[in-house]
Structure 1
């Protein structure tokens, strides 16, 4: 793979509606769009989606920009025989910084798939023509949550609904939703708002017959989750706790939960995501593909990832129009009866809308390979 240049764009757009958790209220979203061009003029696209401040993870837009500029891109451009499957080895001297690595590795894999003339998912064994889509409800007010579900049920018929909860609103929210939708496939995401001292309280959530309770305890914990899972009936889903293959292996050994969500950005890109998926499949752990309020490029990569056979539960795969008045891929990502069509075109399978991308770009930098 002969590279010519790498472009990093900072883009931003206002959300159609605020995204609220107990940790943060997000009204405007930034992202890094990474374009890798080869010497034949083909372009691969990736997207890094840290938030603007470190409320979800230690990485931010600015730290990712720095890591890409000072370390990851120079290392990549200095490599004489680039092979996508060797990216983890190439960056072995850079610890952590998974979102920065993920965005750049996505672009490399997209470019490689285009060079091979094949859909990206098929490089990893994808055989699915559709994937199941799940929705996220991030509203503190129960009436608003019910309204959001009713709207989504009319437009997309999503296969499951994830409700953002906290210790302040969990019973009120879930009681209201269950009253209106007694049979709705429902899960709850706590974003680490509870501690093991809340075990009795969390046991009472069993009455809502949730598919799973996502990340109830600390974002970096595995041992307390293992204790909690022995106390509550609701399956625990690990999200933030799974930041690497080793985290997943430790969680399985400790029996810290019964479900895993894989976020490509959180674990460092395609190779690590697939390794964790294969590990979970080996141990019969149900897996689904998580989301990060992405733009269309990251969503396209997630669709390709979710199309792999090991993903058995609906992922966070919203339609383009849910978050954005104007997304950056075409055709727009759509949900039909709770399903997303898996494309078959080379690379990520979608075309990047360059005018839309340019309109959302706040800043960009170009890094060219030095010719000796």
Structure 2
């Protein structure tokens, strides 16, 4: 049974948290993160939370914290304030092009608000069927191979069954060789964040020797033809991440046979609404999916866990424990992984209490809008 809702207030909180361990990708290094929390309030007083988990710099995607703040404050939130709606998909803003990270925060807040008002878990209203999610971890580029092996050892001892390694042109074959030699049975995959070019196809093909679960996003997002070429040359599945921002992108990649695995990120695709559509299309096409992460705080991490409960998420997802990244997270209880498995919350909405005091203590900017 649907009930009409009306958003009477909307708030943005720019929150800064330090990372437990600095993280290096092929493009940049980060020691702390600024993310934007979206808070939507219904006329009944119910609250829905979402997270805009954009990077501060335009390396992973064109959006930044500043651009997302501007789009959310001046376009997305004014469009939902005062509107009467009965399902989160009613609030999808088709007039604003792109800006998927900003849209994701608003869309997720609408879903959590909707679940809260129905006294149902977010996973349930999304159509989730799993009670637990297998988690993996993502490791950045380390100064030395020995330091990388130490990081892998810590995560294996913590019970994580899958480890993802960031790679780049001068940090690929040898680090992977060392990790595979030390852990011959580990579910291991690599992620290039699109740093390679067509000239590197033969180099990447050497990774086929290490029985990787996948090679994630080796080439630039729009270079689907080179992804298809590499996939035709190797047995290791190619996974697309940055290339798939819409379901239309997925259709093109499927037609080109440019992937065998799909990484679904709520942020990259513009929210839970389009992420669920991508899951459904991939499942129809027989493509396994997993939920990627953007080092989300607890709000975004809880939403990822809920999404990962859908039946097509058959590979370990980036929903590792909060403590992997943050000494103290913004939700209670924090996301916990026991032997690499995260339980899907059963409480209404996010299934976690949002720690307003901790948010306030770490907020570096805020704004409130009302109709």
Same-fold status (TM-score > 0.5): yes
Instruction: Give the conservation status (yes or no) of the 8 Å contact 1:202–1:232.
Output: no
Out of 194, 198, 201, which is 1:199 matched to? Answer: 201
How far the C-alpha of 1:219 sits from its partner, in A, is: 2.1
Determine the C-alpha separation between the residues in 2 that align with 1:116 and 1:291: 27
After superposition, give the CA deviation of every residue in 1:199-226 in whole Å (9 maximum; x if it has no partner): 2111111111100000001122212111
Aligned to 1:350: 352
Regions of 4+ moved over 6 Å: none
Aligned to 2:169: 167
1:283 aligns with 2:285: yes
How far the C-alpha of 1:78 sits from its partner, in A, is: 4.7
Q: Greater CA deviation, 122-131 or 296-305?
A: 122-131
Aligned to 1:148: 151
Aligned to 2:54: 50
Out of 256, 259, 275, which is 1:257 matched to? Answer: 259
**TM-score (norm. length: structure 1):** 0.96
Out of 322, 325, 332, which is 1:320 matched to? Answer: 322
Determine the C-alpha separation between the residues in 1 that align with 2:317 and 2:245: 18
Give the secondary structure class of the aligned counterpart of 1:121.
Answer: helix
Instruction: Give the conservation status (yes or no) of the 8 Å contact 1:203–1:233.
Output: no
Determine the C-alpha separation between the residues in 2 that align with 1:113 and 1:81: 13
Determine the C-alpha separation between the residues in 1 that align with 2:305 and 2:125: 14
Determine the C-alpha separation between the residues in 2 that align with 1:27 and 1:56: 16
Aligned to 1:62: 66
Give the secondary structure class of the aligned counterpart of 1:316.
Answer: coil
Give the secondary structure class of the aligned counterpart of 2:286.
Answer: coil
After superposition, give the CA deviation of every residue in 1:270-306 in whole Å (9 maximum; x if it has no partner): 1100111000000100100000011000000000000
Aligned to 2:36: 32
Aligned to 1:84: 88
Determine the C-alpha separation between the residues in 2 that align with 1:52 and 1:82: 34
1:217 aligns with 2:226: no
**TM-score (norm. length: structure 2):** 0.97
Instruction: Give the conservation status (yes or no) of the 8 Å contact 1:199–1:231.
Output: no
Give the secondary structure class of the aligned counterpart of 1:315.
Answer: coil
Q: RMSD of aligned C-alpha atoms?
A: 1.1
After superposition, give the CA deviation of every residue in 1:17-63 in whole Å (9 maximum; x if it has no partner): 11001200011100000111112211110000111111111100000
After superposition, give the CA deviation of every residue in 1:212-261 in whole Å (9 maximum; x if it has no partner): 00000112221211111111221100000001110011111111010000
Q: Greater CA deviation, 219-228 or 263-272?
A: 219-228
Aligned to 2:130: 128
Aligned to 2:339: 337
Where structure 2 has 5 or more consecutive residues not aligned to the other structure, the ranges are none
After superposition, give the CA deviation of every residue in 1:58-105 in whole Å (9 maximum; x if it has no partner): 1000000100111111111153446312222xx111111101010011
